[in-house]
Structure 1
Amino acid sequence: MSLIKGSHHITMSVGGAQEDVDFHVKTLGLRFIKRTVLFDGSIPVYHLYYSNADGDPSAVLTTFPFGQAGVRGRRGTNQAREVLLAVPSGSLNYWSQRLTEHGIGVDSVEVFGRRRLMFRHPTGIEYGMVGVEHDTRRGFAGYGVPEEHAIHGIYGVGVHVANPDNTVEFVGNHMAVDPLLEEGERVVLQVGTPSQGGAVELVVNRSDEQGTWFYGEGTIHHFAWNTETLENQDKLKFDIEGAGYTDISELKDRKYFKSVYVRAPGGALFELAVTHPEGGWTCDESPKELGSRFQLPGQFEARRSEIFEQLEHIDI
């Protein structure tokens, strides 16, 4: 029995906050559900959250706009590289036209016999759209995107690796995947329920330099799995540690979810996440108000005015 239902969220380091909002909300039509700050460190950096209509686990993209701090990352190998999104089957022509109209270059490619669209975030992070059927996650009809074409949520993540065997072994032994598929230099593993965004696509990349692992503009920082319960999370952590993968964190309370982080042997940082049992996204805002207020972790509340003044103004 799998301890993972599917994906939970993807977290990236981007450039400007307004540029990021414009891309995710005004171009992709996603719902803006949370504006807070990075829990770790002392430098005020936004943490922005986008989702489908219901904020489902498996449908949340989060970003740290590090452009203001002047920290730039390097995309490379041994690093998560592609944000893969699920859209309704038959919607790719609509998205190709919409992205083009918003000044975003789009490539139509075929992967495992299925068409997908590839494009980039303004900071260069690679995105892909995959048409899917029988996905019950509800897309958000925002900024002119009709519900019949709206993004369901995450499809999966593309990870570049110099040697895929180590990552296949790690994911295959500890995350209860379906049998892998191979096509050229790409290996695909499915974790959890297919409609919950758990596709892991490993791309063999021995030409690029090692990608950076710190927070830095233009890179994916981590990919989070939905373990659903703290019991499942603890069992999976115990299993991974017991196998000798000791580059794994203790439990961290992120207010909206509880997290454990583990570095896979292929380089990608994975998170084992559980939506907080005491409210999740709605612990500090009602469902209709999500994203409307600037939220702060308790340790920063005394610095609210100072932090707010230092951060870039965002127009939603």
Structure 2
Amino acid sequence: MAYVEGSHHVTLSVGSAQEDVDFHIKTLGMRFIKRTVLFDGSLPVYHLYYSNANGGPSSVVTTFPWAKQGRTGKPGTNQAREVLLSVPSTSLDYWHKRLTEHNIDVENTHAFDQRRLAFHHPSGLEYVFVGNDNDDREGHPGNGVPPEHAIHGIHGVGIHATTPERMIDFATDTFYAQNTIVEDGDRATFQVGNQKIGNHIELIGNRTDDHGTWNYGAGTYHHFAWNLDTLKNQDEIKFEIEGAGYTDISELKDRKYFKSVYVRTPAGALFELAVTHDDGGWDCDENPQELGTHFQLPNQFEDRRDEIFSNLEPLED
């Protein structure tokens, strides 16, 4: 029987590569686990990966920095917008102080009877810290972040939609949403798949903003990835989605570390259906203790290594 295990990673389009590294590593204390390039197209664009301590599914944030190419996007409705990250509930005061000390404006917000922290990536992307008491994923205590306050991983994704009910239909009828839907004003939340944590979709009814952009461009979400666990299960889910009439779905793509297909959902958010296959994983090209320290390329770009590297923004960890 086909199933969705839970979340896998989130991928964002940002501006400066160095600014992005500084934000995720120096400010948020995340672990730098991979530096490679965008596999699609021919432009030499970084693909940078950050995670909690172990880099497991549901813990990874990845980015495409577009400043050097001058590409910018437009946030709006019918688009994934919010990067929801899980932290210990007791850590919100710590993070409010730390973010403020790093010159990041942070706001106390409330949703679903719970305090949260809202702030922005330097490229304008919306980040939210959500407190969770029963999250046993191991945070990475980097750059002065104590272990007891470190980010556990992904909490979920916040999606703005003109007609959020269409997304609820897709999730409940086709994409293995759990049964409980909780509403709070113009926001509704539910979980997808078998996981108990890290797999929340939050839908925000938004009929005010213009349609957000879907192409690559700094300041916008690119996709939210789900863990399909096995290639056989991935095939079955793909056929089910197509059979339900959602045919805006890609062929299988080999991302070296995992294999994926992509589907555009009724809310505009792009979902990736990812499987970490037997020959993949973060350690397929680096020692586990050295993740993120070497510049990696897919085989099709290896003969252009010097050219590609010379056209990328230099990075200081």
- Provide TM-score, normalisation by structure 1: 0.98
The correspondence of residues 21-170 of structure 1 with structure 2, limited to 5 A, is 21-170=21-170
Choose 187-196 or 83-92, whichever is displaced more.
Answer: 187-196
Match of 2:223?
222
Residue identity opposite 1:104 in structure 2: I
- The question of whether the paired residues in 1 share the 8 Å contact of 2:256 and 2:280 is answered with no
Secondary structure of the corresponding residue to residue 99 of structure 2: helix
- The question of whether the paired residues in 2 share the 8 Å contact of 1:260 and 1:273 is answered with yes
In 2, distance between residues paired with 1:245 and 1:177?
16
Match of 2:284?
283
- The question of whether the paired residues in 1 share the 8 Å contact of 2:231 and 2:277 is answered with no
- The question of whether the paired residues in 2 share the 8 Å contact of 1:2 and 1:192 is answered with no
In 2, distance between residues paired with 1:238 and 1:76?
30
Q: Does 1:247 align with 2:248?
A: yes
In 2, distance between residues paired with 1:280 and 1:196?
21
What are the Cα deviations for residues 122-159 of structure 1, in whole angstroms up to 9, with x where unaligned? Answer: 01000000110121110001000011100000000000
What are the Cα deviations for residues 247-294 of structure 1, in whole angstroms up to 9, with x where unaligned? Answer: 001111100000010000111100100112214100000110100100
In 2, distance between residues paired with 1:219 and 1:277?
32
In 2, distance between residues paired with 1:129 and 1:222?
19
How far off is 1:196 after superposition? Answer: 3.7
Secondary structure of the corresponding residue to residue 103 of structure 1: coil
- The question of whether the paired residues in 2 share the 8 Å contact of 1:12 and 1:222 is answered with yes
Residue identity opposite 1:248 in structure 2: I
RMSD: 1.0
Match of 1:303?
304
In 1, distance between residues paired with 2:196 and 2:286?
28
Secondary structure of the corresponding residue to residue 91 of structure 1: helix
Residue identity opposite 2:283 in structure 1: T
In 1, distance between residues paired with 2:106 and 2:39?
35
In 1, distance between residues paired with 2:163 and 2:134?
34
How far off is 1:165 after superposition? Answer: 1.0
In 2, distance between residues paired with 1:218 and 1:29?
21
- The question of whether the paired residues in 2 share the 8 Å contact of 1:17 and 1:312 is answered with yes
Match of 1:15?
15
Match of 2:185?
184
- The question of whether the paired residues in 1 share the 8 Å contact of 2:2 and 2:233 is answered with no
In 2, distance between residues paired with 1:256 and 1:242?
28
Structure 2: give runs of 5+ residues left out of the alignment: none
In 2, distance between residues paired with 1:151 and 1:41?
33
Secondary structure of the corresponding residue to residue 289 of structure 2: helix
How far off is 1:2 after superposition? Answer: 6.6
Secondary structure of the corresponding residue to residue 90 of structure 1: helix
How far off is 1:6 after superposition? Answer: 1.1
What are the Cα deviations for residues 44-84 of structure 1, in whole angstroms up to 9, with x where unaligned? Answer: 00000000000011000000001111010000000000000
In 2, distance between residues paired with 1:99 and 1:6?
29
Choose 175-184 or 281-290, whichever is displaced more.
Answer: 175-184
Match of 2:260?
259
- Provide TM-score, normalisation by structure 2: 0.98
How far off is 1:190 after superposition? Answer: 0.6
In 2, distance between residues paired with 1:279 and 1:290?
14
The correspondence of residues 188-227 of structure 1 with structure 2, limited to 5 A, is 188-227=189-228
Secondary structure of the corresponding residue to residue 299 of structure 1: helix
- The question of whether the paired residues in 1 share the 8 Å contact of 2:282 and 2:291 is answered with yes
How far off is 1:175 after superposition? Answer: 2.1
- The question of whether the paired residues in 1 share the 8 Å contact of 2:174 and 2:244 is answered with no
